[in-house]
Amino acid sequence: MILMMLSSITIIFISNMIMILAMILSKKSFKDREKCSPFECGFDPKSSARNPFSLHFFLITVIFLIFDVEIALIFPMIYTFMMTNFILWTKTIFFFIIMLLVGLYHEWNQNMLNWTN
């Protein structure tokens, strides 16, 4: 027990010292106008650098992100199929899938899934 505590304290101490050393050594004091520009190449833009982007593309990205997270929530449900009560598992998965379908229907009803308006 004491050996575990001693090794944990040593690991925490070493990691904190490395983080402090990295913060001290990574200070940048030289500021260049080209490096502070919004482009990595250092060239000045020929037109406005703040062009508006498509809001519809952003909404499609948010919809994809939401469904991606929901798929990540379904995977543990598949894994726990054999370890839980079947009736409770079935009710939970059906409720989850119905919520997904209601959200999909709402997005379809609001014409969010059409790329062109």
pLDDT of residue 79: 82
Burial class (CB in 10 A: 0-12, 13-18, 19+), 60: middle
For 37, residues 6+ apart whose C-beta sits below 8 A from its C-beta are: 44
Q: Domain ranges in the chain?
A: 58-110
Q: How confident is the model at residue 10 (pLDDT cuts 50, 70, 90)?
A: very high
Percent of the chain with pLDDT over 70: 74
Q: Which residues of 70-97 are buried (b: 16+ CB within 10 A; e: fewer)?
A: eeeeeeeeeeeeeeeeeeebeeeeeeee
Identify the pLDDT of residue 110.
82
Note the pLDDT tens digit of each residue in 14-62: 999 999 998 888 766 566 665 565 555 555 556 665 666 677 777 778 8
